[in-house]
Every structure is written in structure tokens, then in C-alpha cells.
Amino acid sequence: MGRINPHGRGSSGHCRQGVRVKLHTENEDSMKPANHAVKRVLWAGLATIAALVMGGGSLSFAQESVSVRAAIVTGGLPVDDPNAAVWTSAIPATFPMSPQVHWPDRIQEVTVKDVIVRALHDDQQVAFLLEYSDPTQDPDDGAALEFMVGDKKAHFAHGQPMLQVEGGPVNIWFWKHKDDKAVDMSAKGFGTLKPQAHQDVKAKAAYANGTWKIVFSRPLSTDHPDEDVQITPGEFISIAFAVWDGRKDGAGELVEKGSQKAVSSWWYFRADAPPDYSSYMYAAIAAALALGFQFVLIRKLKKGQ
């Protein structure tokens, strides 16, 4: 493979020289002229394969992104226990948070800088574990998950209207410490946030060592697809996060409240589908077909001569 020069140090002239040198040694070996050509074909084939591999490699790096995925569990979903041992089997994803500056009332600084998110599902229900550091436990501590609902894109700020794109609604799962329950909410634009008539979400939180752990859970699908996010295993959907630190300032006023909160951008969430081995079968069929094609081709060539 040396002559392909994958590091690109040589120009094309350099390559040509390399081939000449090689040809010279072949002549000294007094091989048949046909073999030179055959060797060259071989090198070309290798060069093409190398090109595919190298090109394919860079392509997959460009796709790297962050998402949270829910693996399937069979032994019961830990919907009531933020500290359940099974959570350690879920892969954590960390998402950065910003103060909400998109619309008034804004806030310039927030307590929570990152949230760590895990998820699991059992093909009936999904459970999210939201975890973040908060030095104090306050009655007004709160957190929320946000999802796009339906096929239309929704702006991450409560699905507020976009000027050139028709947006969809968002579904918000909201938890507040002093109530210690979830509120299933809908919004499509500022000032439209309201609890739904059908409450499908549960939440359970635990605070220890300066860290909040909150479990949100809900059936994967509900009877209200216009209001609730519907989770289909195997499909990526958009998810965003918000956190309120319920601390108070010197005057006894809440610092983070309403739109003054920590927010994230949209990220992706997927509930994993059951394992699917069909692509191994397709690969085996394709390889067998290629082998058969080779066999027929060579037979035909041999007969032709």
C-alpha cells in the first residue's frame, strides 16, 4: 500500500516515479509482461478500496452528535426510585445549560450549568432520570423536559411562532419540589403554557449530597397525540431541558422563576428498538450473490478462451 501514499506528502509526480522504480525491479525479475499489468490492476483496486475506507471514515466523524437513548429493561422500570441500581446500566448523556435570554423576562446567570440525563424503557413505559448539582434544597426547585409534538418542528422556547416556518406545539413535563409530582403541560407560543386535561406523567425526586435526581415516567404512547409526545421505539425525537433553582435573594425574592430559568437547546432522544439481526442476513445474501457472480464470470471467461 506504500505507493498509494495516504498521507499525501508526495505529488502525483512522486507517485509516477514510485511506479517506475517498481516496474524496473519487476523487469529484473524477468516476469511475464502480462503480470506487470495485472499487478497494476491490483494496486488500482487497493487504491480504490483505500479511498472508500478513508472517505467513509471521515464521513462518520462528521455525523457525531449527542443524544440520550433509552435501553430496554425487562426486570421492571424504576419509575419510583431515582436511586435504583438499574439506572447505572443506562448510559448518561450530559447537556450544557444556558440562562434563558431568548425572551423577557431574561436572566443573566443561573445555578445549573449541566444536566445529566439517563433513560430506560420496557416497551410500555419510558422513564427519564434527570440529575444536576444544586447546592441547596428549596421548595421552589423545579425541572422540566420538553418535547416536540407531531411532525412539525417547534421552537425550543415553548414552541413560540416562527415567522417563515409553520411550527408545532410542545409537550412539557414539569416537576416542582414542593408538590413532588409531575404536571403534563402543552404550549404553542408564549403565554399559552397550560396543564393538560389528561395527566399522563409521573415524577419522583430525591435530593442528596447537593444533587437532585428526578425520575419522570409516562407510557410510551397516549390517547392524545395532538398534545402528548408519542414515543416509537427506534425513532429519534427532539428533547430539551429546563431547571429552576428555587433559592431566594437577600430580599426574599425568588431568583429563578417563570421564564428566568436554565434552558438547553434541542437534543435527540430515542427509545431503543428490540435488537434486529436482519442486516446480518442481508449482508450474508449479498456476499453469497457476489461469490456466485464471481464464479459464473470466471467460468464464462475460461470457456470463452
Q: Please name every residue paired with 262 in a beta bridge, in sequence order, or none if there are none.
A: 99, 243
Per DSSP, helices labelled H in 5-85 are 12-28, 33-62
Q: Number of residues in contact with other proteins, rule: CB under 8 A?
A: 96
Nearest to 144 by CA among 264, 232, 272: 264
Say if residues 172 and 142 touch (Cβ distance below 8 Å): no
Neighbour-count burial of 168, counting CB atoms closer than 10 A to its CB (0-12 exposed, 13-18 middle, 19+ buried):
middle
Exactly one of 59, 85, 197, 251 binds other proteins (CB under 8 A); that residue is 59
Q: Which stretch binds other proteins (CB under 8 A): 27-35, 119-127, 178-186, 246-254?
A: 27-35
Exactly one of 21, 103, 178, 210 binds other proteins (CB under 8 A); that residue is 103
| Residues of span 228-247 touching other proteins by CB under 8 A | 234, 236
Distance CA 64, CA 57 (A): 12
Find cell 420538553 and name the residue: 146
| Residues of span 165-194 touching other proteins by CB under 8 A | 165, 167
Exactly one of 35, 83, 94, 232 binds other proteins (CB under 8 A); that residue is 35
> For residue 78, what are the CA distances in angstroms to 55, 92, 126, 147, 210?
43, 16, 10, 21, 22
Tell me how far, at minimum, the Cβ of 274 lies from other proteins, in Å. Answer: 11
Say if residues 125 and 77 touch (Cβ distance below 8 Å): yes
| Residues of span 273-292 touching other proteins by CB under 8 A | 273, 276, 278-280, 282-291
Exactly one of 63, 74, 124, 209 binds other proteins (CB under 8 A); that residue is 63
Q: Which stretch binds other proteins (CB under 8 A): 71-79, 161-169, 195-203, 212-220?
A: 161-169
Give the contact letters, 65-94, x = binds to other proteins (CB under 8 A), - = no: x-x-x-------------------------
Exactly one of 11, 83, 94, 199 binds other proteins (CB under 8 A); that residue is 11
Q: What angle do CA 291, 294, 295 make, to 5 degrees?
A: 90
Nearer to other proteins among residue 170 and residue 183 (C-beta): 170
Grouping H, G, I as helix, E, B as strand and the rest as coil, residue 185 is strand
Exactly one of 1, 27, 45, 296 binds other proteins (CB under 8 A); that residue is 45
Exactly one of 77, 97, 185, 215 binds other proteins (CB under 8 A); that residue is 97
